[in-house]
Amino acid sequence: MSALAQAVIDWFDEAARPLPWREPGFPAWGTLVSEIMLQQTPVARVIPRLAQWLERWPTPDALAADSPAEAVRAWDRLGYPRRALALHAAAVAISERHDGVVPREVDALLALPGIGDYTARAVASFAYGVRAPVVDVNTRRVIARAVNGLGEAGPARTRVDLAAMEALLPADPERARALNGGTMELGQTVCTARAPRCEACPIAHLCAWRSAGYPAYDGPAAPRQAKFEGSDRQVRGLIMRELRQSDTPVPAEVVEALWPDAVQRERALAGLLRDGLALGSAEEGYRLPGS
């Protein structure tokens, strides 16, 4: 095992935040739910919502037996609710194909609807201890700086990024899990994007970027998300809020009153219909799927 991997694991053993999904015995279903919730939402907002979700739907079977509309309603402001539909679809598949047990292997997880490469690897590693590289934006930043000597990671390249993490993983699955979690934690809390705390970093003495004198990054930039105010995301959110609050189809004129720009409003509505988050038409009104 490399000195860098050992240093991160040792640090993580002492510095890991006490998060629910890190508790001994936390269920694989809870890990799957937490990973999907965390994709676009800060940890502090996820923790209480995760507890509510697992109290209502403690197993995949419980969620599968409920309607997708209820999943979307419960998702509320956790980010784009298409993830709630994906989670419901995954629960149905787990119930029907795996006897209600979240599968262990990456390939089986990837075969679930709505489960991408990151989530599949995270669940396999963190819930089951499978030796698999797990890469998120924080992992990529730590590797870019400590290993490659670059101030930023640049655009994501899945195959390259996974290979870089794979090269660092210890052979032992438990240590590999600790390195996956520790590298992400290091990027979230110490090796941050805008104000890295190098004085508190356990691998500062091994960091190629620090040794090179922190050279400015001049490579391709990662895409940045557009501002929320005035965006299609804001319009979609307004429409979804109206649909969540109604048990009957929402008339087209109510939707029209939500946003003055007709072109943008229709574009946002079309996106919701395309993603399966809204059903209906101007004639019959709009509703959540399964409601």
Active site members = 35
* Dihedral (Cα; 222, 228, 234, 240), 10-degree rounding: 60
The token pair that represents 238 in the structure block: 């307004």
